[in-house]
Structure 1
Amino acid sequence: MWTAVPPEESVPWPNCTLKDNLKKSPEIYTAHVEGRGATAMKIKRPKKSKQPDTIPPTITNCPWDITITTETDPVQVSWEQPEISDNSGVFTSVASISSGSCFRYGTHQVQYTAHDEAGNEASCQFKVTIKKPDLSCTAQPPTDGSLACGTLSYPGSGKNKWQFCVPFCMKSTGFHRRAGSVFFCQPSKSGTSWFHLDEAWQMTKAHMPETCTVRRRMGSRKGDSLQYYEGDCNEQAVKKQILATVEHIVAKDPSVVSQCTRHPNTCGNFRISDLSVHCGPGNNQRDTEPPVVISCPQNIEIETKKGNPYWNDLPELSWKEPVFEDNSRGPLTITKGGSNVNNGDKLAYGQYSVEYIATDLSGNQAKCSFEISVKSIACTMELPEHGAIVCGYPSVDGMDLMTIDCIVLCQSKYQFSRDPYPIYACSEEGLWWTFTSTFTPIGPNLPSLNHKCQEPDIHKKPKVVDQNFYFDGDCHDRAVQDMLIGHLEYFQRKTSAYQYCELNREFCRKWNGYRNVTVFCGST
């Protein structure tokens, strides 16, 4: 507020202030007087710069969509409020539906909206869905049969649909009791049940068939003739056959036929949807799952002194029989394969394979197999430096001796540290039996075959030894090895035992030579 001053008087302008009763502190203005004694002046207000607010409020922690399944209608629903803030510190928020409100069945949109003083706006939305519990009926397909289920509706009926099922049996079986064609589902809060509809749409409670029984005698079947099928329910062609039959069975149902009288405009104008076929357990399903091997013996390997059947009581081998299981819980047929070996047999030296095969009623198979190895106790030998050892498996007419014979040889420019025997035979006890060419056919038993080939001692007179104990050339050469193999046969014929059998054929079997002869070369 300004005070008027006469023109002829001067005013100390720097001390003039504008008194504004609306503000606590005075605001200073700059004033100019135009001419002496003038009554007009210019007042210059200070300029203030102000940026417009364009930032909307911020909403965080907006609730997620809420879905509740309940038999209560309406139902109270609560949620945590979202957090709202604004840069100005001043805002207004509005909720379309507040937390703790009651909701009926259906989907409801909830929105929170916030405004600040500048008119900026922000919002968040979520849905609250209240659903009725699913009261659909459940049923298991009958044994040796199947169950086709779907929904039935009529035009103009809105969302009203009837859940229904039609039981089927294989043609070789029949329903164990009288069965209606079409079963409808009646849902309620207390539970669900199956029923039949008559021409007046009166409900009769019914029990879904649990099994299809084998027909013991001829006669009419229970149920509609269309409710029987041939083939494997799991095969696609059979399922298509069942699905195609369902519409004909539904069309013959009393409740559907009565529609032609009650509502001629909808006669036969029904719609089937969500149709599917479920196969029951039994022989209508082809079992493709093989039996399961629960236990199977591991490979068996033994060393024994008594594996020769010609002069020993053979060792008895036994094992736990394998165990199989099948998904059908039906009987399994167990057959044996591999070697002709049974549990508890006495086995000679050799390799045997054992195989058990389990077959279920559908022909699926599972196998359990393992190996049996019966070995003699191994004999030890040391290869002579500058020498060789030749070994082979002897056989006579009609008999495999199941032993191994060996000879020891030296290169011709070396000599033996001690006299060798013609034949060394590895016994079942792991000892080397020595066969001689003297009147004493069998010499001492040796724990190891360990002859040495050494350079001649010039101070000693060399012993006279069969020259077949020596060889020339490289032991690794194939031609040399072929020659050494012949030495094994030579020394066998030199033994007293061989000579005896040659003279006494009636007591000995015919000699058939050696098999699997191997040459082992010592270092040079």
Structure 2
Amino acid sequence: VISANRVDLSLDQKDAFTYKTFQGEAKLSSYTGGVSGVTSTFYFYAGQPFSAPSTLYLNLSFVSGTGSLDCTTLYDGSSTAPPGCQPSDLGSSPSENGNPYYISLGPLTTGVKYSFSITGLTNEATSGLSSTQAIKIGKYTSGGVFEPWNTATLAAWTLIDNQNPTFSGCPSDISVNTAAGTNTQVATWTPPTASDNLAVTSVTNSHSPGDTFTFGTTQVTYTAYDASLNQATCSFNVIVSDIEPPTFTCPGNMGGPGDLVDTDPGMPTAVVSWTLPVATDNVPGGITVVAVPARGSSFTIGTTTVTYTVSDSSNNVFTCNFQVTVSDREAPVITCPPNQALNNDAGQPSASTTWSLPTTSDNSGSSPSLSSSPAVTSPHAFNVGSTAVVYTATDGSGNSATCTFTVTVSDVEAPVITCPANINSPTDPGLAIAVVFWNPPVSSDNVAVVSLTPSPVGPSSSFSLGTTTVTYTALDAAANARTCSFTVTVVDQEAPVLTCNTGGVILNTDPGQAFAAVNYAAAGLTVTAVDNVGVVGSPVASPPSNTQFAVGSHNVVYTVLDSAGNTGTVSCSFTVQDIENPTVSCPAPVTQNSDAGLPTATVTWTVPAANDNTAVATLTSSFNPGAAFPVGTTTVIYNVTDIYGNLASCSFDVTVSDNEIPVVSCPANIVQSTDTGLPTAVVSWSVAVATDNLGVASEVESIASGTVFSVGITSVTRTAIDVTGLVATCTFTVNV
């Protein structure tokens, strides 16, 4: 920092303004001689208010260069830029390497600390100022000449180094852990770098990278000095932490196979002790060892985990555990109730009874669990026979003890049996016996029916006509018995069976009749009768033989009785058919001319009569009387059908002749003069076309219309011929 000298400016006598205590200070961003890019920062106070525009004049020997005005980098936080300060307000003399410098100012106010900086300068001073620095405030004339309002000289400034060196890269606190099994650790770091505005003369340090540090916190300090004995320090801590837990080995598990720890006699616990282990740590002293539960405690039945917690002075904790298993091998004590003998309960295969549970006790102090085989609880129904109930008392460790009592139940109750109802059965088809089936009797017993025996026979046996008694006996396992009976009555309900010896007989009507008188024996309509017991008499037919039957299907019913009065019938079928054709007679052939002007002739005749032994169904013909027949011969056919489809037919011919000639027309006689200048004339005419009742085959003229005719009379003939060859003509004359 350049020690600030107050600058007092005396008023120029020709100026009316008085500036008292016009003062200021300046500082540089670097005090190394010849360094470029230096910033010089100024502040000043105006002695009194001044509203007119003015110019600040600076002639500085400690810097050079044109520089740039910076209105934002100020001397300190209490200063402010001159009013309206702009970078363009700075002027300088290039010929003098920047000096002097001109700064345009706006209105100034008393008591305000104005500040600005000039950047981009070169420092020309290293120790102090050898000459006074000119500073003026005034204005430029219209001719471009600076006219100061007052002038002051800045006394020589002395360069004093009161700036301490600085450190960069000062390490942060370093934390390391002790090396395994020791209470120390080596710490390394990058040393900080010291610098100074002039020069660093020496750097000292309390510790160096790679030193070994003991457990705890050690401060490392670096100190830098310059030639003026200004100093700076850099300090940080090396913290050596102990994160290594103590070393400790727990005892092995106790109470395993081959090393059982039993409960103390009659007790639910065991007092257990073991050899105390020794703990060590990398940092001596301050070790505590705690066991939960403690050695010599009473351990309950089962497995208990003993946990050792070992901690050192850094609260590093090591834990380990082992298990103590206390085994209960002492069996419970159990006493059963007395044995029981009972009869079965009425209608039951068992007897219900009650008993008291066995009494139990155990060294564990807990009540043992109680189970039985079979699994029964009081009250309980015991089946007939002897049942041994075994009770087992089991403590929480699985030790068990048993006791037994017996319940004997006797069966004194006979079975219950219900026979089927009496059975009435018809004989089997075609037999004089019946195989009768029934469901065996319903039988039950409080225990079980061991046998159910029928007498004389069982279901699906053959029974003769009449009544038979069947008896069933039910027996249980205790030889208690009971019987029931029912009857089986076999009756003949089977009718005789009749069979037609011939089926589907077809008979024709009697000649000329609409019926057939049928003799059953002659026609083969006989029957055969059979019965499981036997028939009485011969079959009787209805209707009787020689009855007249119309055309169609018919049945004869035969009836016969057996010795039990059962009636048997059979219906024998036969058919009467009509195969006799009807009769019809046609009229004689007919010959006739065509009707006048028509190609046909209307012909009539008498319709023939048809007859049949049953009845005529239809009489049809290809033509009916009064029909129009064409020229030529036409056959008329009559067909007759009876009601059963028998057919007959007859026919006759109708011949129609054409004796009518065509009708031909001629024009009137024609008289015509010769054509102009010619001895002839072209003559044309028109006439109607020839007609005929059948049709004109051809029509010709001896001379055609439009022909050239010579002078004189010429005859022209027109000729028409019909399709049957009949000819007609007419004639007219042409007179030229």
TM superposition score normalised by structure 2: 0.20
Higher relative contact order (CA 8 A, sep 6+): 1
**Rg comparison, structure with higher value:** 2
